[in-house]
């Protein structure tokens, strides 16, 4: 697992307080919302802030967020593409 995906998974468990899962158990392709990790709209807002804080990457609008937050893989790709 690459360092960025590992860090993202740690953020989900430590900062978003995802329960019942360790970073190693999070599937890179699993949906982050709904049946996947079970995140909700409040988590999405917090996740935008955490991505800005940890990576200095801003998610500009809902369309970008919807695409970026599809999975760990898509979020890692979004961050790599927008790193300043």
pLDDT score recorded for residue 77:
96
State the average pLDDT for the chain. Answer: 92
Contact 58, 65 (CB under 8 A): no
Burial of 82 (0-12, 13-18, 19+ CB in 10 A): middle
CATH of the domain at 74: 1.10.1200.10
Question: Which residues lie below 8 Å from residue 10, measured CB to CB, with a gap of 6+?
Answer: 23
Our count of domains for the chain comes to: 1
Q: How confident is the model at residue 75 (pLDDT cuts 50, 70, 90)?
A: very high
Q: Does the pTM of the predicted model rise above 0.85?
A: yes
User: Which residue range is the domain that position 50 belongs to?
Assistant: 3-82
Write out pLDDT tens, residues 12-44.
Answer: 999 999 889 999 999 999 999 988 889 998 999
């Amino acid at each position: 697992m690459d360092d960025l995906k590992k860090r993202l998974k740690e953020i989900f468990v430590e900062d978003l307080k995802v329960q019942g899962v360790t970073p190693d158990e999070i599937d890179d392709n699993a949906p982050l919302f709904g049946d996947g990790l079970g995140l909700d709209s409040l988590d999405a807002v917090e996740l935008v802030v955490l991505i800005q804080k940890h990576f200095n990457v801003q998610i500009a609008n809902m369309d970008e967020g919807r695409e970026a937050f599809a999975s760990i893989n898509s979020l890692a790709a979004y961050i790599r593409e927008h790193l300043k």
